[in-house]
Each structure stands twice: as structure tokens, then as C-alpha cells.
């Protein structure tokens, strides 16, 4: 198999010498006489390895190296420096060059040796990246917790749709696990070895969203000083996750619909059509049919996306899952902060089960993390959950609200102690008759503290 190699040098003689030698050694060589020319070509051949002369007229080798690494962070470059210019070699290595050679290159075997190492290094870093992503994905896939019928239905749907190519729309309130489901579908699909590329449609203003999705050619707009692949292209052969699709502006919806129908795109500033093989998963916490009625979401796009819908139930409808999830989060966070916390006491369990969880699983995760940090006991107690607002259940109230009599008793005792048990003065300050005060002292069994 041939490896693509980018060879940049402004001296034609040196270029031809190297190209002539290396083309016999399993390299598919793309030459350029300047940094500008190299960048121009680069997005068309995307070579994993490069030989770059440091001293060129126009763009310097160092700058070119930086630009190439922006486009392809895995590129491994061997730089050519003038004999004796150690500084340049050091700067190039700092900027991420893989190795260097001094010019003129006479020992071609040494060059070949270094190039082969660079190819191997490229293979390793790319492999490492793929592995770590795959690990993260499979982890997410296996981590769906819950035994409620709602979550079991979701699990069943995931395993049904994952092997298919169909577009999936995931709906449900904020924090219910929509992204988790999207990752699980991808991880269980035949596309799992390829990437899952996510984009949050709400996170970009309209024009940026378009260039993020479609990519652009150099010079497509002011500031586009190099070509960039969009997320559609990056997701080729894999899955594209369109998060918060309900927030997509109408003009972008039209463009997305076209891509879904034609399965090809053009980068901004280009007429070249790039065919796409992608699977789409979309998610939203908005009610799309309502948005359609209000004219904020295109009906045709809605039907395109809504081939299969997975609707996530709010956490409060998942019964026992609340405590299952809480136990899992407890385990995770106590390991993280290094505390040995063995469980959740009955009062705390009552509070968690009775709360209505407007922020769903994400809120539960946050509450448990905070409780683990706060608690001084080896269990999570009701007091560690004091931040939970919203309607309180009866179990939550008991033990938390003091009866009036307790407060009255404490208050009278406090005043008497402050006023040195002067009955007349204390009664006056409390706004009651001194006889009433005497009765209360007896009733509450108050006695003067003698120090």
C-alpha cells in the first residue's frame, strides 16, 4: 500500500532528487514549491506524513507546519534545516515536527528510515485516538441505568433500531439522557468503528452553524484563510448527532432537508459535490409538532427526522430508578472524592423519591455529587439534601419543621437568659403579662442556668 507524502521545498533540484528517490519506495508523492501551494493542495490529498523545508521564500516552514497541524493534528513532518542552524531544528521540534534532517540531504537511507518511523507514529496516534473514542462510546452504551418499564422500553427500542440505517429522533425533557441514548445507538450499530460526530445546533449562531456543518474552502468568506471540513464530512461512514435540532433556524432547516434527501453536500465556496454516507440521529427537548404548528419548524423536515422516535420519560415517572441511579452516582462520586460513603439513609431516600426532579437525571447527578462533598457521615442524610426545592412531600416535612411551642420555649429561654431572669423586664420586652410569663416558665420547665 502506498503512503501519501507531502514534499515542500522551494528548491526545485532538491525536490526532484527526493521525489525521484522516494517515489520508488512506496510513497505517493505530492510536491509543492511553497507553503501557500502546499496548503492549497493539502485538503485534497490529506497526507499523513510530510517533508517540509524550513527556509522558504513566502510562508516559512514553521508557519506551514502549524497550519498543516491545524488541518490534520496527526500529521508527522520531517523538517529540513540548513547545516548548523540548530535553533531552527529546535523550534521545529517544539512546534510538533516529528524529526529533522540537515540540508542538503545526502544520506537518503537515513531519510527513508525517519520517514518510515513517521508513518508508524502517525498510525499509532490515529489508532490511539480511535481506540479512546470507541472506549468512551462503549462505556456510555453500557451505562444506561434503570429497571422501570419506561427505561426498559427505551432499551428495547435502542437495540431494535441500532442495527438499522433509519434516522432516529430522540425526544424528552432536559437531562433525561438523550445524548446517552444517541451514543448507545451508535455504539451498537455497524457504524461503531467509525466516528460519532455531534453538533449542538443551539450552540452556534446561524452562519457559524452552516460553516460548521458544511465546511468551507479557503477564501469562501472573510477569515476563511484555509479550507476546513464540516461535520457532515467528518461523520462520513459514521453517525451525525444533531443535538437540540429544535433550535435550528428555518433557513438551515431547508439546507439540512436537502442533505437528507440528496445525501451529498458542497462546502461553502465550492461547487464540488461530496457524496455522503451518514446516519442521522437528532434530539430535542422541544415539542416539534407544536413548533411545526407555530411555523418554527418545517413540517417536511419533521417527517424526515421522525422515522423512529424514542421518547425519554421524565425521571419522576421512573419510580425505583431514582434510587438505583442515586446509588450508582454515589459510588462514582465517593470514589472520585475519596470518601467512604456506604449508602443513603431512609430519610434521604424518602426525600429523593418524593422530589419531582425538574432537571431529571442530570439534576440527580448534581445533587448526589454535592451531598457526597458535603456529608460528614458515612451515609447521605436528609440534611445533605437541603438544597432540594420544589414541592415537598409529607415524608420530607417530618422532622424538618419545628412545632410553634418548641420555638416559643427556645425564644423565652433565650430572652430570660439575656435579661438575667428579670421577669418584669422580660415580660415587657416579649409584650406579654408577667403572669403569663410565669405560667409559661412552669409549663416549659425552664430553669435558670447557674454557671
Q: Give the CA distances from residue 389 to residues 128, 327, 354, 367, in Å, rounded to whole numbers and listed in that order.
A: 45, 21, 11, 11
Q: What's the min distance (Å) between Cβ of 317 and ligand ATP?
A: 13
Distance between alpha carbon 375 and the CA centroid of its chain, in Å?
29
Q: Which residue has the cell 472520585?
A: 336
Q: Considering only 91-99, 120-128, 157-165, 170-178, which stretch makes contact with ligand ATP by CB under 6 A?
A: 170-178
Strands 264-265 and 27-32, sheet pairing: unpaired
Nearest approach, Cβ of 169 to ligand ATP (angstroms)?
A: 13
- CA dist 444 and 97 (Å) reads 83
Binds Mg ion (CB under 5 A): choice among 11, 37, 153, 179: 179
Nearer to Mg ion, 318 or 440 (CB): 318
Cα 398 to Cα 374, 391, 403, 411, distances in angstroms: 22, 14, 11, 22
Tell me the C-alpha distance between 191 and 317, whole Å: 33
Encoded one letter per residue, x for contact with ligand ATP by CB under 6 A and - for no contact, window 284-303 reads -x------------------
Tell the smallest beta-carbon distance from residue 151 to ligand ATP (Å). Answer: 6
Q: Is residue 133 close enough to count as binding ligand ATP by CB under 6 A?
A: no
* Stretch of 90-98, 134-142, 173-181, 209-217 contacting Mg ion, by CB under 5 A: 173-181
Q: Is 96 left (phi over 0), alpha (psi -120 to 50) or beta?
A: left
Name the residue nearer to ligand ATP (CB basis): 91 or 361.
361
CA 185 – CA 138 distance, rounded (Å): 10
Question: Helix or strand or coil: residue 31?
Answer: strand
Are the CB atoms for 74 and 41 separated by under 8 Å?
no
| C-alpha–C-alpha distance, residues 412 and 419, integer Å | 11
Q: Residues 211 to 250: which contact Mg ion by CB under 5 A?
A: none
Q: Which of 127, 132, 159, 174: binder of ligand ATP (CB under 6 A)?
A: 174
Choices 83-91, 172-180, 223-231, 417-425 (CB under 6 A): range interacting with ligand ATP: 172-180
Nearest approach in angstroms of CB 165 to Mg ion is 23
Site string for ligand ATP, 134-153 (x = CB under 6 A): ---------xxxx-------
List contacts with ligand ATP (CB under 6 A): 143-146, 172, 174-180, 285, 325, 361-362, 365
Amino acid at each position: 500500500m502506498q503512503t501519501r507524502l507531502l514534499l515542500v521545498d522551494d528548491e526545485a533540484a532538491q525536490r526532484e532528487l527526493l521525489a525521484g528517490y522516494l517515489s520508488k519506495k512506496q510513497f505517493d508523492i505530492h510536491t509543492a514549491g511553497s507553503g501557500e501551494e502546499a496548503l492549497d493542495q493539502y485538503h485534497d490529498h490529506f497526507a499523513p506524513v510530510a517533508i517540509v523545508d524550513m527556509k522558504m521564500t513566502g510562508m516559512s516552514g514553521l508557519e506551514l507546519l502549524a497550519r498543516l497541524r491545524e488541518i490534520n493534528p496527526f500529521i508527522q513532518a520531517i523538517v529540513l534545516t540548513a547545516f548548523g542552524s540548530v535553533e531552527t531544528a529546535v523550534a521545529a521540534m517544539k512546534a510538533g515536527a516529528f524529526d529533522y534532517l540537515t540540508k542538503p540531504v545526502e544520506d537518503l537511507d537515513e531519510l527513508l528510515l525517519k520517514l518510515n518511523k513517521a508513518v508508524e507514529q502517525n498510525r499509532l496516534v490515529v489508532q490511539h485516538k480511535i481506540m479512546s473514542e470507541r472506549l468512551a462510546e462503549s462505556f456510555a452504551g453500557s451505562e444506561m441505568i434503570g429497571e422501570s418499564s419506561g427505561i426498559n422500553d427505551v432499551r428495547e427500542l435502542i437495540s431494535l433500531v441500532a442495527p438499522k440505517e433509519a434516522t432516529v429522533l430522540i425526544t424528552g425533557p432536559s437531562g433525561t439522557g438523550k445524548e446517552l441514548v444517541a451514543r448507545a445507538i451508535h455504539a451498537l450499530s455497524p457504524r461503531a468503528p467509525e466516528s460519532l460526530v455531534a453538533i449542538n445546533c443551539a450552540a452556534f449562531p446561524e452562519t457559524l452553524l452552516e460553516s460548521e456543518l458544511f465546511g468551507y474552502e479557503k477564501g469562501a468568506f472573510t477569515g476563511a484563510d484555509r479550507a476546513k471540513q464540516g461535520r457532515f464530512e467528518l461523520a462520513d461512514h459514521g453517525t451525525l448527532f444533531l443535538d437540540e435540532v429544535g433550535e435550528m433556524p428555518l433557513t438551515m432547516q431547508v439546507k439540512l432537508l436537502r442533505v437528507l434527501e440528496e445525501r451529498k453536500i458542497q462546502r461553502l465556496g465550492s461547487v464540488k459535490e461530496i457524496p455522503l454516507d451518514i446516519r442521522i440521529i437528532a434530539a430535542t427537548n422541544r415539542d416539534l409538532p407544536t413548533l411545526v404548528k407555530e411555523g418554527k419548524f418545517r413540517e417536511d423536515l419533521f417527517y424526515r427526522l421522525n422515522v423512529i422516535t424514542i421518547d425519554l420519560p421524565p425521571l419522576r415517572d421512573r419510580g425505583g430508578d431514582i434510587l438505583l441511579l442515586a446509588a450508582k452516582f454515589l459510588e462514582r462520586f465517593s470514589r472520585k472524592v475519596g470518601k467512604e460513603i456506604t449508602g443513603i439513609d431512609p430519610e434521604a431516600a424518602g426525600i429523593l423519591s418524593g422530589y419531582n426532579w425538574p432537571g431529571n437525571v442530570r439534576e440527580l447527578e448534581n445533587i448526589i455529587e454535592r451531598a457526597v462533598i458535603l456529608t460528614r457521615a458515612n451515609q447521605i442524610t436528609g440534611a445533605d439534601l437541603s438544597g432540594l426545592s420544589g414541592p415537598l412531600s409529607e415524608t420530607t416535612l417530618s422532622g424538618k419543621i419545628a412545632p410553634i411551642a418548641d420555638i416559643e420555649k427556645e425564644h423565652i429561654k433565650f430572652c430570660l437568659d439575656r435579661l438575667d431572669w428579670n421577669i418584669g423586664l422580660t415580660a415587657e420586652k416579649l409584650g406579654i403579662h408577667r403572669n403569663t410569663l410565669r405560667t409559661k416558665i412552669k409549663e416549659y420547665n425552664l430553669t435558670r442556668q447557674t454557671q
